Amino acid sequence: MRVHVLKSVEVSMARYEELMDLLDSIPGPVSFVASEYIPTFEEDEHEVRKLEDGSKEGLKEVKFPDVVFESRSIMQESISLDKMRLDIEFSYSRPREIDVFKWADIFEKCKEYRRIQDLGDDDFVVLITDNGNEYNWFTGHDLTGKRNLFVQSSGWGFFTEGQSKYPVAYHVVTGVLRYLMVGNLNEITALVHRKAIGCMNDLCIDKKDVMFKMRTGDICPACITRISKRKISPSIVTQLFGIMEATRTRLLFRDRFEVTQQVSRIAIRGIRREIYLIDFGNAQFKFTPLEKTVYFFFLNHPEGVEFNRVQDYYQEMHDIYSELAPTKTSEQIEASVSALCSPLDSSLSEKVSKIRSKIISVVGDRMSEYYIISGENSSPKRIGIDRGLVEFG
């Protein structure tokens, strides 16, 4: 099953890539497909809404029509997952005003993409947009019955602090699952809970309740029963539940860090020496082989190393990079390592800067200080994490 995820023009590529990385963090039969297609809205298609306090305005009622879905091939299917990669931070926003579009205009962009790509009815199309909508919903379903969704990516700062990739990813996944749970669009009216109970199908008339259901990351017994009766493929359900749990785990871990000051353990696994944050929903630091070389070097030296003394460790750097880049020629390895170790070259500083940005994109600013390579000018640079929290598999 394929879920095509689009972004509108005002959503930055860095934010989009961060979202796709989170959606792709749990393997399974659902393939989240990134797209280079960027829909744009015309100036005359919207109004502007002032947001003095985004938390005060509730949802407006939506009537779901009587639209019967055709039989879909979601039962017990098995489709290989195409791996996506990507990273970077996007924080919650508190916009003072927002462009507001009609649902019909939003979903026309999804339908336009379907026509261009010649997609079948079984494919989902999800539009991520900072724009608001006429009913003030954070996510909505196409009222014509097509497998089209939108998720609003702005305004989350009115409800919580942190990175908005978590609620956006949560609503992408639950929106897809909600479609699979009904056979007729108007069944969504009966499916949702008007009073928040901590279930993915809470309507959240008071928009502050949206964080309640995200923090529980739960599905009520009645909705579990409906999933069972619909005979949705267990592998699909497992993957979507896994992404929901990953968003919940990472959101709570970051929030609790302020009190616990507990950081996640690092596990280095596999032939490619991938770096996982065990207690942070198995999130990854996705470094290039040369960036990993620098990172592993500083992990090997908890006492720290001054940049102008890295040249003394040429052989250690060479050995690490040779293991991480087996397809490189000896000449390529020597050239890259020589640049890293040369006090006259900016290669090492550039790698440290990129590593820092990637780490912050995963764990945020506050927790990053334990993982980044840092130190005062002319003093040893080091990684702060206790090496007892680092596991080599």
Buried b (16+ CB within 10 A) or exposed e, 26-57: bebbbbbbbbeeebebeeebbeebebeebeee
| pLDDT(47) > 70 | no
CA 322 → CA 298, 317, 391, distances in Å? 17, 8, 21
272 by Cβ neighbours in 10 Å (0-12 / 13-18 / 19+) ranks as: exposed
The predicted pLDDT at position 14 comes to 85
Rounded CA-CA distance 32/124 in Å is 9
pLDDT digits (tens, 9 = 90+) for 188-212: 888 888 888 989 998 887 767 887 8
Q: What is the dihedral of CA 151, 213, 211, 18, to 10 degrees?
A: -50
Among the ranges given (16-30, 100-114, 149-163, 365-379), the one the predictor scored with the smallest mean pLDDT: 149-163
CB 31 within 8 A of CB 152: no
The predicted pLDDT at position 51 comes to 52
Sequence-distant (≥ 6) Cβ neighbours of residue 2 within 8 angstroms:
30, 31, 33, 79, 122, 123, 124
Compute the residue count for the chain: 393
Among the ranges given (34-48, 67-81, 320-334), the one the predictor scored with the smallest mean pLDDT: 67-81
The predicted pLDDT at position 161 comes to 54
| pLDDT(106) > 60 | yes
The class (CATH top level) of 2-259 is alpha beta
Among the ranges given (47-51, 334-338, 339-343), the one the predictor scored with the smallest mean pLDDT: 47-51
| pLDDT(322) > 90 | yes
pLDDT digits (tens, 9 = 90+) for 118-134: 999 999 999 999 888 88
The domain limits of the chain are 2-259, 266-392
The predicted pLDDT at position 365 comes to 84
> Could you tell me whether strands 390-392 and 266-269 are parallel, antiparallel, or unpaired per DSSP bridges?
parallel
Phi-psi domain of 136 (left: phi exceeds 0; alpha: psi -120 through 50; beta: other) = left
Rounded CA-CA distance 92/18 in Å is 13
Amino acid at 319: D
- Rounded to an integer, the average pLDDT of 144-159 is 82
- Rounded to an integer, the average pLDDT of 43-61 is 53
Position with higher pLDDT, 279 vs 44: 279
Chain mean pLDDT for the chain? 83
CA 367 to chain centroid: 18
- Rounded to an integer, the average pLDDT of 125-150 is 89
pTM of the predicted model over 0.75: no
Residue with tokens 């939108």: 150
The predicted pLDDT at position 184 comes to 83
Residue with tokens 């009904």: 182
247 by Cβ neighbours in 10 Å (0-12 / 13-18 / 19+) ranks as: buried
- Rounded to an integer, the average pLDDT of 382-393 is 92
Rounded CA-CA distance 160/162 in Å is 7
Closest to 177 (Cα-Cα) out of 126, 143, 136, 132? 126
| pLDDT(61) > 80 | no
CA 361 to chain centroid: 10
Among the ranges given (45-49, 188-192, 264-268), the one the predictor scored with the smallest mean pLDDT: 45-49
Position with higher pLDDT, 86 vs 383: 383
The predicted pLDDT at position 50 comes to 55
| pLDDT(84) > 80 | no
Rounded CA-CA distance 263/278 in Å is 10
Sequence-distant (≥ 6) Cβ neighbours of residue 363 within 8 angstroms:
254, 264, 277, 280, 283, 371
Residue 85 pLDDT class (50, 70, 90 cuts): very low
The predicted pLDDT at position 81 comes to 26
Amino acid at 220: C
The predicted pLDDT at position 213 comes to 84
- Rounded to an integer, the average pLDDT of 296-321 is 95
Residue 259 pLDDT class (50, 70, 90 cuts): confident
| pLDDT(162) > 80 | no
The predicted pLDDT at position 132 comes to 84
